[in-house]
Amino acid sequence: MLANYHTHTTRCGHAVGEDREYVETAIRRGLKVLGFSDHVPMAFPDGRESRFRVPIRQLEEYVTSVLDLRAEYKGDIDVRLGFEAEYYPDLFESMLALIAPYPVEYLLFAQHFNDSSETVYNPSRPGSRGALSTYVDRVVAGMETGKFSCVAHPDLFCFEGPEAAYREEMGRLCRRARELDMPLEINILGLRMGRNYPDDRFWPLVKAEGCRVILGCDAHAPEDVADPDQVQLALDYAARFGIVPEQDMALRRPGGGAS
């Protein structure tokens, strides 16, 4: 593994360790690129703060920390500044405006919820065919904005309905990802923890469609960065479906242009 773009910090409230520890672990394990992509701050109209995002008051601190580490470890590793973000049509432009003053290099796309109420967590319990269809609609629309560089855990939606329905809906997602040249992530955290993703039903669709695939550590602790055993687990998983993940990916700046 040469690059990991899925890395969190303690600011999201569910990760541990100092930012520096993530970088030093990445260097020790041979990474050439480490991208920080903590959950993007979001200004909700009712003034609430998300329970899992970087608080707006810590946005400047997050950016400064990542940029300082980039400068300090230049020559040892390429540290990149990003965020993990959902696509909520009603809040997307305001979210982009919030981070626009900063040199953000990429967004990971992760549709944890289908709408900005954030009441139904997509991986938490089996959803209906209608909810799955809405999930795919949101992911497709988000990819079409051109603001995202990769879809993180694209198969996180929990669905226990008919196999044909799953193939039809998720096939739409894979087809559009291939058309838009959008990499899809095999999520190492989900694999290690035995979550409902990676989903064995999804990756044959990815293979059949010829989508690009990348590994993401989804690191919430320094020891999760490019852990050799975890990386091998993910490579073995990909090989089950005849998939060879790419080592790196091109980044799309949310403000336009390539990083």
Residues 6+ apart with CB under 8 A from 176: 140, 143, 144, 182
C-alpha span between 34 and 145 (Å, rounded): 25
Number of helices and strands (H, E) in the chain? 8, 7
Torsion on CA atoms 202, 151, 182, 140, rounded to nearest 10? 80
pLDDT digits (tens, 9 = 90+) for 178-225: 999 999 999 999 999 999 999 999 999 999 999 999 999 999 999 999
Three-state SS for 21?
helix
What domains are defined for the chain?
Answer: 3-240 (3.20.20.140)
pLDDT digits (tens, 9 = 90+) for 33-89: 999 999 999 999 988 888 899 999 999 999 999 999 999 999 999 999 999 999 999
Q: Is the preceding peptide bond at 198 cis, omega within 30 degrees of 0? A: yes
Task: Indicate the pTM of the whole model.
Answer: 0.96
Residues 6+ apart with CB under 8 A from 228: 29
